[in-house]
Structure 1
């Protein structure tokens, strides 16, 4: 597990210098930051790397082009991961994108695996002005991620899973939501 990781997503009007959520314990620190627009992300990544973070993960909304930009901004000094969706989620994530672009009020959850996290205490819910919400929740392991995802799935249109080593950890989450919600998983690149 990373000792100092930052997860970045986009939210209108966000301040990139403010932590949305911090999980810090003997296993390390995970912070979540939001940027108001994608162009702010590269500058934020450059600053975070200079500050000493050892891993960055990006929301799936940035896409591959911004992922490549973040890798360049990191100077190759830290792994930069981004959320990608498996074949089982392509139809539903395309529907989410179309509904989002049409201005529909949608709710999503960012589930962060961080050893020792408490899903009750390490949780922030941001209600959006136009309806819907973004829930950021820390969980201690993949089993807890699946449990949280299963309980929340009925109220969500999207789940992104951070802090995992790959598809083995995502599988229980995907099975827990039974294809009712698209689940994105972090892929890494240096």
Structure 2
């Protein structure tokens, strides 16, 4: 059975009904959606659940309180995970948060592991009006995730890894960026 996954992050002025990026093939469908505020995320999770989504992954910016609320909104039968950061990333992710809150122009990448994805074509880049950029890139496996992360690391202040299978998937990405860029990975309760 193929997965039907939606990744949700927060972006000022976002329209939660629009796919920012979509990867769909015989292995399933993964879409990225943005919400303008966290409360919209709960509405979106509830709606997506009724539309047949079986997995939701939340950006690390939501944190555990919103993660818990999203699990309640999704109900049984839908897996809801969220990005969390390892100990090696805590100092740099705290720096990212402080710089973000201060209004600094920052760049981040969301690397999405989806079997059959092509990093050359499954890629969307948003240049932010205030500077910096957000890059979304689909990759077919963990090795490709590490390769893409290594290539992008010099221009990034944050990486979030979606669709990964836990620490075994995240470790090569952390190693590829030499722990110089914080790397978050989706955590689930099984």
Taking structure 2 as the reference length, what is the TM-score of the superposition? Answer: 0.98
Correspondence 1:58-69 to 2 at 5 A: 58-69=58-69
Q: Which residue of 2 aligns with 1:182?
A: 182
Q: Which residue of 2 aligns with 1:169?
A: 169
Consecutive unaligned residues of structure 2, counting only runs of 5 or more, are none
Confirm or deny: 8 A CA contact 2:2 2:26 kept in the other structure.
no
Structure 1 counterpart SS, 2:188: strand
For the aligned residue pairs, the C-alpha RMSD in angstroms reads 1.0
Confirm or deny: 8 A CA contact 1:2 1:54 kept in the other structure.
no
Confirm or deny: 8 A CA contact 2:7 2:31 kept in the other structure.
yes
* Residues matched between the structures, number: 190
Correspondence 1:89-104 to 2 at 5 A: 89-104=89-104
Structure 2 counterpart SS, 1:56: strand
C-alpha deviation, 1:30, in angstroms: 0.2
Structure 1 counterpart SS, 2:20: strand
> What do residues 8-58 of structure 1 show as CA deviations (whole Å, max 9, x unaligned)?
000000000000000001100000000011110000000000000110000
Tell me whether 1:155 sits opposite 2:155 in the alignment.
yes
Structure 1 segments of 4+ aligned residues over 6 angstroms from their partners: none
Correspondence 1:20-169 to 2 at 5 A: 20-169=20-169
C-alpha deviation, 1:2, in angstroms: 5.5
Q: Distance in 2 between matches of 1:189 and 1:69?
A: 14
Consecutive unaligned residues of structure 1, counting only runs of 5 or more, are none
Q: Distance in 2 between matches of 1:3 and 1:84?
A: 22
Report which stretch shifted further, 163-172 or 69-78: 69-78
Confirm or deny: 8 A CA contact 1:2 1:55 kept in the other structure.
no
Q: Distance in 1 between matches of 2:104 and 2:132?
A: 9
Q: Distance in 2 between matches of 1:127 and 1:70?
A: 29
